[in-house]
């Protein structure tokens, strides 16, 4: 059995941290639930950075997939793993951007979006179905506050690459014209959130286009990396656990792998 996989882990925030020490202090304060943080005082989001964020986080993986798909089609068990993010979802769930204990973040990190079967799979967590629905379903879409964009990206049956591009073009247009707040886009980390929501949408499109592939999104959790000045909670090894597990699943592993405790929900 020939098995080949592709893991796409591209990520920049689309921001410039102007006060690294303030950034570290803000994360510590947010984890402790102390005070209200004005992120605009410690980081800025220039338009050029937003453009670059979309290029790296969305168009980069998309182009790599397009280039390597002919090779994956030669495999008996092709799989694609897109490393996405639910950092914005943590804010919506807990009231703070980074507030969550270690095991909650491990749960997030082990949340897998299994698009071929239109379901969510999560590993070894004991999280109830109702908890999962309320907290982690539709990764990032609750943070894309713009109702039109949310509707487009969540319309799985009619979703196309062209429609995703429309959302990104409209986002950049509003960004350039200073209309993000007026049109209800995310107030901070806006390009990052939109880029990852677009990557999730791309994953759904690919899964429909290549039904014999095992294609998933995964959030590694709040991992210590250069992107957050090593202020995450999970180690790099812990963050890599879920993407690697997906990349190395045996053929049909999403259905029969006994190492995982899982539950499934429809996206709708």
Q: Is 192 a catalytic residue?
A: yes
Whole-number Å distance between alpha carbons of 139 and 5: 23
Residue 39: which of 196, 189, 146 has the closest Cα? 189
Cβ partners under 8 Å of residue 168, min gap 6: 54, 58, 194, 195, 198
How many residues are listed for the chain in this entry?
268
CA distances from 191 to 53, 170, 195 (A): 6, 12, 6
How many beta carbons lie within 10 A of that of residue 58, not counting itself?
25
Q: Cβ atoms within 10 A of the Cβ of 185, count?
A: 21
d(CA 168, CA 107): 29
Q: CB neighbours of 250 closer than 8 A, spacing ≥ 6?
A: 3, 77, 257
Q: Tokens 């410039």 map to which residue?
A: 16
Tokens 């790599």, residue located: 64
Answer whether 233's CB lies under 8 Å from 222's CB. Answer: yes
Catalytic residue among 58, 59, 188, 192: 192
Q: Are 8 and 81 in contact (CB under 8 A)?
A: yes
- Distance separating the N- and C-terminal Cα atoms of the chain: 35
Task: Give me the active site residues, please.
Answer: 192
């Amino acid at each position: 059995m020939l098995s080949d996989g592709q893991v796409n882990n591209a990520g920049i925030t689309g921001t410039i941290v102007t006060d690294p020490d303030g950034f570290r202090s803000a994360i510590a304060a947010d984890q402790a639930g102390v005070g209200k943080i004005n992120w605009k005082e410690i980081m800025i989001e220039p338009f050029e950075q937003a453009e670059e964020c979309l290029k790296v986080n969305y168009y980069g993986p998309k182009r790599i997939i397009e280039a390597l798909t002919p090779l994956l089609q030669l495999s008996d068990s092709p799989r694609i793993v897109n490393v996405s993010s639910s950092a914005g979802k943590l804010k919506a769930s807990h009231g703070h951007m980074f507030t969550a204990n270690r095991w909650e973040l491990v749960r997030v990190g082990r949340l897998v979006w299994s698009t071929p079967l239109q379901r969510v799979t999560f590993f070894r967590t004991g999280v109830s179905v109702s908890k999962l629905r309320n907290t982690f379903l539709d990764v990032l879409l609750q943070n894309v506050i713009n109702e039109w964009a949310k509707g487009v990206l969540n319309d799985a049956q009619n979703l196309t690459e062209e429609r995703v591009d429309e959302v990104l073009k409209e986002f950049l247009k509003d960004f350039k014209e200073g209309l993000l707040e007026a049109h209800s886009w995310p107030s901070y980390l806006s390009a990052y959130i939109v880029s990852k929501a677009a990557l999730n949408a791309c994953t759904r499109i690919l899964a429909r286009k290549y039904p014999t592939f095992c294609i998933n999104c995964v959030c590694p959790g709040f991992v210590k990396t250069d992107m957050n000045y090593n202020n995450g909670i999970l180690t790099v090894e812990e963050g890599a656990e879920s993407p690697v597990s997906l990349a190395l699943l045996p053929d049909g592993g999403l259905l029969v792998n006994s190492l995982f405790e899982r539950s499934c929900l429809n996206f709708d």
